[in-house]
Amino acid sequence: MPKALLLENIHPLAAQSLRDHGFEVESLKGALSEDELIAALDGVDLLGIRSKTTVTERVLEERPALTAIGCFCIGTNQVDLDAAARRGVAVFNAPYSNTRSVVELVVCDIICLMRRIPAHTHHMKHGLWDKSASGSHEVRGKTLGIIGYGNIGSQLSVLAEALGMRVVFFDIEEKLALGNAQRCDSLEELLEQSDAVTIHVDGRKSNIGFFGEEEFSHMKQDAIFINCSRGFVVDLDALKRHLDCGHLSGAAVDVFPVEPKKSGDPIETPLADEDNMILTPHIGGSTLEAQENIAQFVSQRLEDYWFKGSTMLSVNLPQITLNDCRGEARIAHLHDNLPGILAAVNHVLGEQGINISAQALGTEGAIGYVVTDVADKPAAQALGALASIQGTIRMRIIE
């Protein structure tokens, strides 16, 4: 019976789906350190994680039997994707399943900060009746600046316009503007005209420290700032300075440079004593609807890879979409992208008198992937010859 390990309190629908497909499943609530993860992966075929568990090259080297990793979240920067590809470990994520949840949190943050709800709530909790319109604004007619116009940024753009906001955006890639949104030619152009600035960039290394003192200094007086993307993107000390001096009127932060590994652990942040501040524990995508969608989506990708060899929506391997096997067995052969691999595979099968029922080949960068349905189940000699082809990374027989 194949085994799956799910960490970080992944929605139980994922475990149930894997069990229904014949997997033995172990679920743990928290994240694991590198050494803990290596120990826990003994005998494990599929691994499911969220954002706190890091899968390093050492982990992959120590556990060569690991076949696939499911990131039950948007980002995959917690996995060494190149090292996984070199070892034939497929990695999948859920790039769209919690988009709406993040967008709704950002909309909520914008409205609450514009109305100074955190500050008023703090005063009421401490027995102070402060019925005042000072510093409180409608969002209608205000300008929202969106940094990063991908799945989340573009959907936020649509909802913000429905609230009556003017939307501008900046992205390093060419993006089609939705509705009446306007593209800015530079980040400074966006910052200087936005009443609210929200960041939605990915986890690539070049985004570390992306938004700091210089960027905050370009923002409008009394603007608000929101980060629901990645914790390492923003310099929180710089944000605090611009809040303390009265330059910015409020901020919302959902992600932090260093986050606890599990719920209930303590966290310290220099922003805790700010007046008009919303601090949330990385819950942008944490709605029941989003977690159910993610559980279903990623578990389906893992099951399709295990039982069919399908790499559809893999983030690190050539993508091949496969249906049910059209023969007696399916041979999934991951290899270095070298000339003649396909010919070598077919030569081995021809020498063994094995007829090919269907075949698909995909290449991406340094990796190639050929999937062959055969009319007869290959004998051990044929499988050994296939695994011995120069450049072979991993070979699986799927019956």
CATH number at residue 160: 3.40.50.720
Structural domain total, the chain = 3
Residues 76 and 119 in one domain: no
Give me the pLDDT at residue 281, please: 95
For residue 138, which amino acid is it? E
Residues 26 and 133 in one domain: no
Give me the pLDDT at residue 203, please: 83
Question: Do you know the residue count of the chain?
Answer: 399
Residues 152 and 295 in one domain: no
DSSP per-residue codes, 342-372 = HHHHHHHHHHTTPPEEEEEEEEETTEEEEEE
For the chain, the 3-state helix, strand and coil shares in percent, each to the nearest 5, are 35, 20, 45
Residues 163 and 248 in one domain: yes
Give me the pLDDT at residue 262, please: 81
Give me the pLDDT at residue 32, please: 95
Which of 317, 337, 365 lies at the terminal end of a domain, its last residue? 317
Give me the pLDDT at residue 326, please: 93
Residues 64 and 77 in one domain: yes
Residues 258 and 302 in one domain: no
H or E segment at 199?
A: strand 196-199
Residues 115 and 261 in one domain: yes
Residues 332 and 345 in one domain: yes
* Distance of alpha carbon 241 from alpha carbon 10, whole angstroms: 37
Number of alpha carbons in the 13 Å side-chain half-sphere of residue 312: 12
Give me the pLDDT at residue 263, please: 84
Residue that is written with structure tokens 């496969």 in the block: 322
The two structure tokens encoding residue 69 = 């990793």
Residue 235 φ/ψ, nearest 5 degrees: -85, 105
Domain span holding position 399: 318-399
Give me the pLDDT at residue 261, please: 81
Number of Cβ within 10 Å of residue 169's Cβ equals: 25
- Report helix, strand or coil for 394: strand
Give me the pLDDT at residue 288, please: 93
Residues 154 and 229 in one domain: yes
Strands 329-336 and 367-374, bridge-based pairing: antiparallel
Give me the pLDDT at residue 194, please: 98
Give me the pLDDT at residue 36, please: 97
Nearest to 9 by CA among 181, 261, 347: 261
The two structure tokens encoding residue 245 = 């001096």
Give me the pLDDT at residue 228, please: 96
Asked whether the beta carbons of 48 and 70 are under 8 A apart, the reply is yes
Give buried/exposed letters for 69-78 (b at 16+ CB in 10 A, else e).
bbbbbbbbbb
Q: Which residues are catalytic?
A: 230, 259, 282
- Report helix, strand or coil for 20: helix
The two structure tokens encoding residue 1 = 């019976």
* Distance of alpha carbon 393 from alpha carbon 279, whole angstroms: 45
For the entire predicted model, the pTM comes to 0.84
- Report helix, strand or coil for 16: helix
* Distance of alpha carbon 70 from alpha carbon 45, whole angstroms: 11
Give me the pLDDT at residue 50, please: 93
- Report helix, strand or coil for 87: coil
State which residues of the chain have pLDDT below 70: none
The two structure tokens encoding residue 304 = 């399709």
Residues 137 and 261 in one domain: yes
Give buried/exposed letters for 276-307 (b at 16+ CB in 10 A, else e).
bbbeeebebbbbeebbebbbbbbbbbbbbbbb
State CA 274 to chain mean position distance.
Answer: 30
CATH of the domain at 357: 3.30.70.260
Give me the pLDDT at residue 264, please: 87
Q: What is the pLDDT of residues 64-103, one digit of tens each?
A: 999 999 999 988 999 999 999 999 999 999 988 899 999 9
DSSP 211: B
Which of 256, 279, 302 lies at the terminal end of a domain, its last residue? 279
Residues 297 and 331 in one domain: no
* Distance of alpha carbon 354 from alpha carbon 387, whole angstroms: 16
State CA 346 to chain mean position distance.
Answer: 37
